[in-house]
């Protein structure tokens, strides 16, 4: 990595699950480097959704390194996710035709509920599948399938966790970590954000800020995607041998379906 910038730059790991992110510093200059980041980072940067992209370079082994401005920023706290600015940024993402065109060029097909169910069926092992609440969840997902056909499709981030929202010192809000983005029903993102972070009595106001009216169809679609994600999360944490988190998502699914 050092040969990209010169020996005077100090490069250190930035942490994160993949270990592919780095911080490069030379005097007062600071960059965020990432290996093989999302190929449509340039469009996200142009739309002001992620910090400004400075350059991308392919290195000898075929990896692509991207460099962005390092922002003095902070992650949003869970209780801040009901902010109007969060709704505004998510609406901007879901309304961007440029993002849709770019992700289509990468060969991604729309992700429909039927494909999500197929994915769940293929990924869960017998231990997870034998859980009574997972059985109940799978029954709910299959029974509800005819009622949750998307009314529109957009680029969805798929991981609107509060840790992926950065607020800069000049109050600009960014959504980072786009490796899992898909074309899907915007209710996928909205449902996770509202169910995880916003009290139900505030959903109406949040959705008005987003530019959408609450209706039964939307509520059903949001709940469906959140239930699907809970089962996926159970299996993901079990694979990581994280029992506490696996049990958390099992309890969450039970609460959601009760």
Instruction: Tell me the pLDDT tens digit for each residue of 191-211.
Output: 999 999 999 999 999 999 999
What's the pTM?
A: 0.88
Q: Would you place residue 184 in the very low, low, confident or very high pLDDT band (cuts 50, 70, 90)?
A: very high
Report which of residues 37 and 118 the model is more confident about: 118
Quick one: CA dihedral 61, 63, 67, 71, positive or negative? negative
Question: Which helix H or strand E contains 183, and what residues bound it?
Answer: strand 182-184
Inter-residue contact 112 to 141 (CB < 8 Å): no
For the chain, the straight-line distance linking the first and the last C-alpha, in angstroms and rounded, comes to 51
pLDDT above 80 (res 177): yes
- 117 to each of 134, 162, 193, 227, 245, how far by Cα in Å? 13, 26, 21, 11, 22
Question: Using 50, 70 and 90 to split pLDDT, how confident is the model at 112?
Answer: very high
What are the boundaries of each domain within the chain?
2-70, 76-257
2-70 CATH fold = Phosphorylase Kinase; domain 1 (3.30.200)
Query: What's the average model confidence in pLDDT over 162-169?
Result: 94
Catalytic residue among 20, 159, 179, 205: 159
Whether pLDDT at 96 is above 80:
yes
Model pLDDT for residues 34-61, shown as the tens digit of each residue = 887 777 888 999 999 998 888 888 888 8
- C-alpha–C-alpha distance, residues 65 and 203, integer Å: 40
Whether 159 sits among the annotated catalytic residues: the reply is yes
CA 140 to CA 175: how far, in whole Å? 31
| Average pLDDT estimate for 81-88 | 96
Which of the following CATH numbers is that of domain 76-257: 3.40.50.150, 3.90.1200.10, 3.40.50.2020, 3.50.50.60?
3.90.1200.10
Q: Calculate the average pLDDT of the chain.
A: 91
What stretches of the chain show up as alpha helix (H) in DSSP? 2-5, 41-46, 84-94, 97-105, 113-123, 126-129, 132-144, 187-197, 203-210, 216-239, 243-257
Q: At what angle do helices 216-239 and 132-144 cross, to 10 degrees?
A: 140
């Amino acid at each position: 990595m050092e040969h990209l910038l010169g020996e005077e730059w100090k490069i250190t790991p930035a942490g994160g699950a993949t270990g592919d992110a780095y911080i490069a510093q030379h005097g007062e200059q600071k960059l965020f480097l990432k290996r093989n980041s999302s190929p449509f980072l340039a469009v996200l940067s142009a739309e002001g959704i992620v910090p400004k992209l400075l350059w991308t370079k392919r290195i000898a082994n075929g990896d692509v390194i991207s460099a962005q401005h390092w922002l003095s920023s902070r992650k949003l706290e869970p209780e801040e996710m009901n902010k109007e600015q969060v709704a505004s940024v998510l609406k901007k993402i879901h309304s961007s035709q440029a993002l849709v065109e770019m992700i289509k060029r990468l060969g991604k097909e729309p992700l429909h509920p039927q494909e999500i169910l197929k994915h769940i069926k293929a990924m869960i092992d017998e231990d997870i599948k034998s859980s009574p609440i997972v059985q109940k969840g799978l029954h709910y997902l299959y029974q509800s399938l005819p009622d949750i056909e998307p009314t529109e499709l957009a680029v969805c981030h798929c991981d609107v966790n509060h840790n992926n929202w950065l607020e800069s010192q000049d109050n600009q809000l960014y959504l980072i970590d786009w490796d899992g983005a898909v074309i899907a029903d915007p209710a996928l993102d909205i449902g996770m954000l509202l169910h995880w972070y916003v009290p139900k009595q505030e959903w109406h106001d949040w959705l008005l800020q987003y530019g959408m009216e609450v209706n039964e169809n939307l509520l059903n679609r949001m709940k469906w995607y959140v239930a699907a994600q809970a089962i996926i999360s159970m299996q993901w944490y079990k694979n990581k041998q994280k029992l506490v988190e696996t049990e958390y998502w099992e309890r969450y699914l039970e609460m959601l379906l009760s």
